Structure 1
């Protein structure tokens, strides 16, 4: 039987690729439009990391780390 990791390999959660498609190149804001994704639709466990952000090194597999550049545009997404 294959290993199924919720949110990564199963259909019950959103995968990293799904979030990359939704967020890459967009900014985070209060509503959706062509260049903005609403913050309220992000997973409960998330954090936004700017290039100069300090971050804890604890590993939480369910936490989405959203890496943005200096102007707030999403550049990368990782879980952990």
Structure 2
């Protein structure tokens, strides 16, 4: 049986469901409305990843990774 370390080899992390609910399908901007989430309200440890953007492979369990599509809409949210 393989060893699974939560947050390293598995998706999610504590609070990921809350962030997924808040962000999925929205765009990031300066203020909140029906289709936008304010960047200032993201955790201090976060990064926004666009398609084909380069990123480091270091693992930070408390860093929120927000993956956006070409149009800037949030498509995936995870910690790491």
TM-score of the alignment, normalized to the shorter chain, above 0.5: yes
Runs of 4+ in structure 1 displaced over 2 angstroms? none
Partner of 2:58: 58
Q: Find the counterpart in structure 2 of residue 19 from structure 1.
A: 19
User: Secondary structure of the equivalent of 1:66?
Assistant: strand
CA distance in 2: counterparts of 1:67 and 1:39, whole angstroms: 13
Counterpart-to-counterpart distance in 2, 1:78 and 1:23: 11
Structure 2-normalised TM-score?
0.83
Q: Which protein, 1 or 2, shows the higher relative CO under an 8 Å CA cutoff with sep ≥ 6? A: 2
TM-score (normalised: structure 1): 0.83
| Pairwise CA distance, 1:52 | 1.1
**1:47 alignment partner, SS class:** strand
SS at match of 1:20: helix
Q: Distance in 1 between matches of 2:20 and 2:79?
A: 11
Deviations 1:12-69 (A, max 9, x none): xxx1000000000000000000000000000000000011110000000000000000
Tell me if 1:69 matches 2:74.
Answer: no
Aligned residues: 69
